[in-house]
Amino acid sequence: SAVISQKPSRDICQRGTSLTIQCQVDSQVTMMFWYRQQPGQSLTLIATANQGSEATYESGFVIDKFPISRPNLTFSTLTVSNMSPEDSSIYLCSVARSISNEQFFGPGTRLTVL
Amino acid sequence: KQEVTQIPAALSVPEGENLVLNCSFTDSAIYNLQWFRQDPGKGLTSLLLIQSSQREQTSGRLNASLDKSSGRSTLYIAASQPGDSATYLCAVNFGNEKLTFGTGTRLTIIP
């Protein structure tokens, strides 16, 4: 398995502001992903964080709204920009081991936008 | 479109009973399938991973099966306990290294 930490664990933000979420892994991993879980819903993939290149975004998600950094093989950040109440969700990062491709998830960041 | 479905959305079972959770997917060309557990307000805990070449995996009281031809997986929980109460999520890797999640089954074990 992998030990994954996220900061902050939760936050309450005002409309129009931005929040950066950090994801730290205890060992180097090839694949890192960012997911969103809206209230009462399942998980939706936002993007794949690529080390050394731009993130790959899923349909419906854009870089201007969700800029992602991946400076090395153990760390990534997701920024939620110009927030609105519709951005209130749990944001989770995950990593995949290249051998089995099993994914492990961080504890999540619970974001509330007022 | 590749989709994952879990039915029922919620399930209540008396403590001690065995139970089965269902997952179905639309494309049989999968790479692997994972079952996760999520407690309220928490992240996901990986329970079992089944590679496309496997038919089942076991961990303690949990057994997951995979039938690619019918597009189905089941998670069997033996001798259920109140601590098993959680939402169980099925997720499929359709070969592009990304997971497609089902909507989950919220399980309540009644003491």
Q: What is residue B28's predicted lDDT score, i.e. its pLDDT?
A: 80
Closest CA to B20 of B29, B28, B11: B11
- Whether the CB-CB separation of B53 and B40 falls below 8 Å is answered with no
Torsion of CA A51, B91, A103, A50, to 10 degrees: 0
**Averaged pLDDT, A81-92:** 96
Cβ–Cβ of B99/A103 closer than 8 Å?
yes
Q: Do B31 and A101 touch (CB under 8 A)?
A: yes
Integer Cα distance of B28 and A90 in angstroms: 30
pLDDT of residue B19: 96
Distance CA B95, CA A91 (A): 24
Q: What percent of chain A has pLDDT over 70?
A: 97
Which helix (H) or strand (E) segment is B5 a member of? Answer: strand B4-5
Q: What is the mean pLDDT of residues A78-103?
A: 91
pLDDT score of B41: 81
Each residue's pLDDT tens digit, A26-78: 999 888 999 999 988 889 999 999 888 889 999 999 999 999 999 999 999 99
Give the model confidence (pLDDT) of A26-39 as tens digits: 999 888 999 999 98
Q: Identify the pLDDT of residue A36.
A: 96
- Are residues B49 and A100 in contact, defined by beta-carbon separation less than 8 angstroms? yes
| Token pair in block for residue B86 | 């959680």
pLDDT at residue B104, rounded to an integer: 95
**Cβ–Cβ below 8 Å for A42 and B89:** yes
Look at residue A20 in the predicted model and tell me its pLDDT.
Answer: 98
- Which residues in chain B land under pLDDT 70? none
Residues in A whose CB is inside 8 Å of some CB of B read 1, 31, 33, 41-45, 48, 58, 90, 92, 94, 96, 100-108, 110
Confidence of residue A25 (pLDDT cuts 50, 70, 90): very high
Q: Do B98 and A106 touch (CB under 8 A)?
A: no
Closest residue in chain A to residue B51, using alpha carbons only: A100
Residue type, B73: S
- B105-110 and B86-93 beta bridge pairing: antiparallel
Residues of chain B in Cβ contact (below 8 Å) with chain A: 31-32, 34, 36, 41-46, 49, 51, 89, 91, 93, 97-99, 101-104
Instruction: Report the number of secondary-structure helices (H) and strands (E) in chain A.
Output: 0, 11
- Give me the pLDDT at residue B95, please: 83
